[in-house]
Structures are given as structure tokens and as C-alpha cells.
């Protein structure tokens, strides 16, 4: 229709250069008299909108787009103050966005504990937030109720991904099934892999073998020894990493035989531990993962020693020194690469006793992860009080600790933060401290906040801590 085309032209170039056209006579429309050019254009635009909508052809709704009504929710919804606080967090959060995310997750947890569900009117905003915030997404169930699950299905219906668009290995589904079997019945999974070993590709052998890491057993040793002779380097490397976790394996015994002659205690009054570097690896050593000579340049004999240390039982060290773990570790405090290899072996085997011994001379996150949570918090509390660690060293140790922290640890950290240079640590812990502090630390945060302080980072993290704890207390009371 030329009328619509001319009307668009007038709207684009302006009525000063192109007057709006008269409507077609067959439409039976007569514009009011006395209108300006601009008013006449707007009048025609309104008419064009009506005509366009009225002449649009109806179409059938596709069957795939029709959803059955949501089943009724059986759990009662949260109401009153609890509903108001969730509405506030979703629409007008009184705290920063990261704290808002955690408080929404806290709300969902409290709703689960009190057997309440999210009000239906708040589900769209909540599900939208969960699309970008994994903390909220993991907390949705069961508080979103039947209606929430129904809305999730509508928004993101489950569908089979086309084979041409799948990512990852072609056998990803088979690998996922094998992972489930390994977690359910490790022995059955091992037998299945042994039976299918020759029919699998190198990538599949390495991938399935890597799944052993989560629940490695001494009975897996025979298959790992077989993998050491595999033609594929990737398969051999996976087997070596797994065997590093088995201090009672035959390979560990072979590594111990290589390590022990390299260690010698000397000195009468002042004991010291001398460590020789290993010789060139023979065929058996190469099979066990001792690095070969490079094609160019000098061989890294220290790397050979590290590989032997990671594969040998840690008790080789105490058998040579005749001392306990802590005393043995003290003899190595000036050998950072040796200590790092021992830490790697300790972490791979999750050896609590050796972690305690090594922590007496070096602070490392891998060692702390070996300790039970309560002991880890106690060790860190003592470490924070007596050490002079820089924030760059101290912050990572605290960030991975389960929350909330113990009261003594929180008190020790706040003491450091309130010190002369505590603002740097506060800045590095800005995303963790507000949610990590226990409720008992809130009053001290208020007192520190009330003091005159020009350090913006310190004031901000203390303010966030007070706001978070205050709002969380309101949530707790709302669900009582």
C-alpha cells in the first residue's frame, strides 16, 4: 500500500520536507480540519497502526507451545514480613549486589527449614536472578515449589541437544554413565574398564581412568600399572598422577628405593639433612615417571628428584632422619622445592598427619585443606595472631575456609583489620568477610565502624558486615 510507504517517508524525513499523505478514499476516513502538519502525521500514524493490526491474518498456535496449567502447590507460601523482605531484596535491595545474592540464598534456606515456599508473584524475578547467580540457582529447591518448577520448565524446557551441536568428546554420554557407575560401584567400574580397555580410544582410556581420582582404591593398582605401559602419553600421565596417591603401591616401593640412597643425615650436635640429586634414569625409572633427558640443554635433575619424592611414601623421610614429622620438616625449611614436592604428595594422599607436621614450617593452602574444618579454623586463628603475613599471603588462606568462621578466628581477623595497615586485608576480603563473620562479631564491627577512620576499604567491609548480619537477623525473625 503506497499510503503506508509515503507515511513512513514523511515520518523519516520530517513533515517540513514531506507532507503526510491523505488516507485512501476507500477507507472512508476523513481527518479533522485545522490540524498542523505534525498533528496530521501523528493522526495518520495512529490510523496506520489500527489498520495494520486489523488486517493481520490469524495463525494457529503450535502444539509444542501449549503448556498444561501448573499443578497446585501443597506447601503454604511465605507471607507477611518474610515475603516483604524477599520482595525488597529482589526489587530494591538495600545492600550491595553480592550481599543481596547471599541474602536471597539465605532466605531460600530459611524457607526450606520452615517448609514455606516463595510467593507466586515473586517467582519471575527470583528465577531471573538465578539465571546469572549460581548461589541462588543452587538454593532454589525446594522453596520455589511446584509453580516454580513449572515456570522453569516453560522457560528452559529440557530438550535433546542435536548431535552436530554437542561439545566435548563424542562419547561424552558414555563417560557420564561410567562416572555414575564409578561413584556407585568402584569395583564394577574397574572391571568394566579392564574388559573394554583395548576397544577404547586413547582419549577415552585417559578420561575414564581420570575418574578414579575421586575414590581411588588400592585394588585399582593393577590397572594403573597396566596403564604405565600404554602407548599414549596422556594415558600414562593420568596413571602416574593416580599412583602418586597410593603410598602402598609397588611403584611407591620402587620410588622409595630410589629416594632412600639420596638422603643422609650429617652432623653430631647440629643435625642437617643432605640430599643428593638422582642419576640418569634407566628404563624402569622412565616407566615410573622420572623425567628423561631433554633433547637440548642440560637435564633438570631437580625435576627428577621431585618426581621421585611425589611417588615415594612420605615415611621414607622419618625412617632416614629418625625423627618425627615436624622435626623432619624443620630440617627441610631451607629447601623450598623439596618442601613443595612433599606438600604435593601430602595433598594428593590427603595425609592429615604429614599436613600437621609440614604446617609447623610452612603455610600452604594444600596442607590446610587436609585438616578437618574445625582444626583448620583453629590453626588459622593461631597463625593469624602470631604471624606477620602480608595480606597477599593471608587472604587466600581465609577465603577458602568454610563459613561462618569460628568466633576466635573472626576476632583474630578483625584485630588485624583494625590495625595500622589492616585496610589492605579488608580490601582483599571485601567479598568474603561480611558473610564469613559469625553473628557474635557484629557488635565489634559496629564499634570499629564508629571509630574515626579514613580508610574507605576498611569502612566499606565493616559496614557491609553489619548490614548483612542485621538483614539476616531480620530474615531469621520473619520465619519464626
Mean pLDDT of 106-130: 95
Asked if residue 181 and residue 108 are part of one domain, the reply reads: no
Tell me what pLDDT residue 180 has: 80
Mean pLDDT of 215-238: 94
Tell me what pLDDT residue 164 has: 37
Asked if residue 235 and residue 200 are part of one domain, the reply reads: yes
* pLDDT tens, residue by residue, 144-168: 999 999 998 887 755 333 343 334 4
Asked if residue 426 and residue 379 are part of one domain, the reply reads: yes
- Which residue shows C-alpha cell 522453596? 143
> What DSSP line would sit under 381-398, residue for residue?
HHHHHH----HHHHHHHH
Query: What proportion of the chain, given as a percentage, has pLDDT over 70?
Result: 93
d(CA 239, CA 102): 40
Asked if residue 378 and residue 477 are part of one domain, the reply reads: yes
Domain that holds residue 21: 2-54
Asked if residue 98 and residue 24 are part of one domain, the reply reads: no
Q: At residue 63, does pLDDT exceed 70?
A: no
Tell me what pLDDT residue 167 has: 40
Tell me what pLDDT residue 60 has: 64
DSSP one-letter code for 117: B
For residues 119 and 78, the answer to whether their CB atoms sit within 8 Å is: yes
d(CA 473, CA 455): 27
CB under 8 A, 24+ apart: contacts of 325-332: 325/353, 325/354, 325/356, 325/357, 325/358, 326/356, 326/357, 326/360, 326/361, 328/273, 328/357, 329/357, 329/358, 329/360, 329/361, 329/362, 330/360, 330/361, 331/265, 331/271, 331/272, 331/273, 332/273, 332/361
In a domain, 269, yes or no: yes
Closest CA to 143 of 129, 127, 157, 131: 127
* pLDDT tens, residue by residue, 2-29: 888 888 888 888 888 888 888 887 777 7
Mean pLDDT of 453-479: 91
Q: At residue 316, does pLDDT exceed 50?
A: yes
Total domains in the chain come to: 5
* pLDDT tens, residue by residue, 364-391: 889 999 999 889 999 999 888 888 888 8
Tell me what pLDDT residue 320 has: 94
In a domain, 160, yes or no: no
Q: At residue 245, does pLDDT exceed 90?
A: yes
In a domain, 443, yes or no: yes
Q: Which helix (H) or strand (E) holds 274?
A: strand 272-275
d(CA 476, CA 480): 7
pTM for this entry: 0.69
Q: Give the Å distances, CA to CA, from 99 to 5, 61, 166, 194, 418.
A: 53, 43, 36, 50, 22
Asked if residue 383 and residue 358 are part of one domain, the reply reads: no
d(CA 453, CA 448): 9
Phi (first) and psi of residue 97, to 5 degrees? -65, -40
Q: At residue 331, does pLDDT exceed 50?
A: yes
HSE, CB side, 13 Å, CA atoms: give it for residue 294. 8
d(CA 107, CA 476): 8
In a domain, 461, yes or no: yes
In a domain, 319, yes or no: yes
Torsion (CA) 306, 307, 309, 313 in degrees, nearest 10: 170
Q: Residue 438, by phi and psi: left (phi above 0), alpha (psi -120 to 50) or beta? A: beta
Q: At residue 213, does pLDDT exceed 50?
A: yes
For residues 458 and 449, the answer to whether their CB atoms sit within 8 Å is: no
Mean pLDDT of 103-110: 96
Given 310, 335, 366, the domain boundary residue is: 366
pLDDT confidence bin for 442, thresholds 50/70/90: very high
Q: Report the chain's mean pLDDT, rounded to a whole number.
A: 88
- Which residue shows C-alpha cell 629447601? 335
Tell me what pLDDT residue 39 has: 86
Tell me what pLDDT residue 371 has: 93
Tell me what pLDDT residue 139 has: 94
Asked if residue 433 and residue 349 are part of one domain, the reply reads: no
- Report residue 79 CA to chain centroid gap: 33
Asked if residue 362 and residue 376 are part of one domain, the reply reads: no
**C-alpha cell belonging to residue 325:** 614429622
For residues 239 and 227, the answer to whether their CB atoms sit within 8 Å is: yes
DSSP one-letter code for 323: S
Least confident of 102-111, 174-183, 216-225, 392-401: 174-183
Asked if residue 87 and residue 42 are part of one domain, the reply reads: no
DSSP one-letter code for 96: -
Given 155, 180, 214, the domain boundary residue is: 155
pLDDT confidence bin for 315, thresholds 50/70/90: very high
Q: At residue 313, does pLDDT exceed 80?
A: yes
In a domain, 24, yes or no: yes
Q: At residue 61, does pLDDT exceed 60?
A: no
Asked if residue 314 and residue 274 are part of one domain, the reply reads: yes
Q: At residue 51, does pLDDT exceed 90?
A: no
pLDDT confidence bin for 62, thresholds 50/70/90: low
In a domain, 75, yes or no: no
Tell me what pLDDT residue 293 has: 84
In a domain, 103, yes or no: yes
**C-alpha cell belonging to residue 187:** 569395583
For residues 118 and 78, the answer to whether their CB atoms sit within 8 Å is: yes
Asked if residue 184 and residue 97 are part of one domain, the reply reads: no
Asked if residue 362 and residue 269 are part of one domain, the reply reads: yes
Amino acid at each position: 500500500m503506497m499510503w503506508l510507504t509515503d507515511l513512513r517517508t514523511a515520518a523519516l524525513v520530517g513533515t517540513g520536507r514531506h507532507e503526510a499523505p491523505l488516507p485512501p478514499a476507500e477507507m472512508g476516513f476523513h481527518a479533522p480540519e485545522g490540524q498542523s502538519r505534525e498533528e496530521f502525521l501523528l493522526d495518520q500514524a495512529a490510523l496506520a497502526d489500527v489498520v495494520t493490526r486489523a488486517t493481520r491474518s490469524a495463525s494457529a498456535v503450535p502444539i509444542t507451545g501449549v503448556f498444561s496449567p501448573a499443578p497446585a502447590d501443597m506447601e503454604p507460601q511465605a507471607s507477611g514480613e518474610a515475603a516483604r523482605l524477599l520482595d525488597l531484596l529482589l526489587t530494591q535491595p538495600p545492600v550491595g549486589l553480592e550481599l543481596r545474592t547471599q541474602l536471597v540464598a539465605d532466605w531460600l534456606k530459611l524457607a526450606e527449614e520452615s517448609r514455606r515456599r516463595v510467593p507466586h508473584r515473586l517467582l519471575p524475578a527470583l528465577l531471573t536472578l538465578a539465571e546469572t547467580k549460581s548461589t541462588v540457582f543452587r538454593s532454589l529447591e525446594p522453596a520455589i515449589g511446584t509453580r516454580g518448577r513449572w515456570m522453569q520448565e516453560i522457560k528452559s524446557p529440557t530438550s535433546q541437544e542435536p548431535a552436530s551441536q554437542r561439545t566435548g568428546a563424542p562419547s561424552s554420554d558414555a563417560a557420564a554413565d561410567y562416572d555414575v557407575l564409578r561413584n556407585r560401584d568402584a569395583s564394577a567400574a574397574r572391571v568394566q574398564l579392564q574388559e573394554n580397555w583395548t576397544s577404547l580410544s586413547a582419549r577415552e582410556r585417559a578420561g575414564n581412568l581420570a575418574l578414579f581420582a575421586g575414590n581411588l582404591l588400592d585394588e585399582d593398582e593393577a590397572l594403573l600399572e597396566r596403564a604405565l605401559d600404554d602407548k599414549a602419553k596422556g594415558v600414562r600421565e593420568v596413571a602416574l598422577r593416580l599412583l602418586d596417591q597410593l603410598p602402598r603401591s609397588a611403584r611407591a616401593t620402587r620410588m622409595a628405593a630410589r629416594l632412600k640412597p639420596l638422603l643422609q643425615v650429617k652432623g653430631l650436635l647440629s643435625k642437617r639433612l643432605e640430599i643428593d640429586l638422582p642419576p640418569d634414569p634407566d628404563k624402569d625409572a622412565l616407566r615410573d615417571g622420572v623425567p628423561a633427558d631433554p633433547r637440548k640443554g642440560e637435564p633438570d635433575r631437580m625435576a627428577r628428584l621431585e618426581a621421585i619424592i611425589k611417588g615415594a611414601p612420605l615415611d621414607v623421610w622419618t625412617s632416614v632422619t629418625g625423627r618425627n614429622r615436624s622435626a623432619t620438616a624443620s630440617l627441610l625449611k631451607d629447601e623450598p622445592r623439596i618442601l613443595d614436592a612433599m606438600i604435593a604428595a601430602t595433598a594428593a594422599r590427603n595425609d592429615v598427619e604429614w599436613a600437621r607436621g609440614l604446617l609447623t614450617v610452612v603455610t600452604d593452602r594444600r596442607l590446610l585443606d587436609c585438616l578437618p574444618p574445625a582444626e583448620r579454623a583453629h590453626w588459622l586463628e593461631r597463625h593469624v595472631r602470631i604471624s606477620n603475613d602480608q595480606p597477599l599471603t593471608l587472604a587466600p588462606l581465609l577465603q577458602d575456609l568454610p563459613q561462618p568462621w569460628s568466633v576466635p578466628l573472626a576476632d583474630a581477623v578483625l584485630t588485624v583489620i583494625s590495625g595500622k595497615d589492616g585496610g589492605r586485608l579488608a580490601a582483599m576480603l571485601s567479598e568474603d568477610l561480611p558473610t564469613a563473620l559469625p553473628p557474635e562479631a557484629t557488635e565489634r564491627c559496629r564499634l570499629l565502624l564508629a571509630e574515626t577512620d579514613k580508610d574507605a576499604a576498611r569502612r566499606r567491609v565493616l559496614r557491609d558486615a553489619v548490614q548483612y548480619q542485621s538483614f539476616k537477623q531480620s530474615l531469621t525473625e520473619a520465619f519464626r
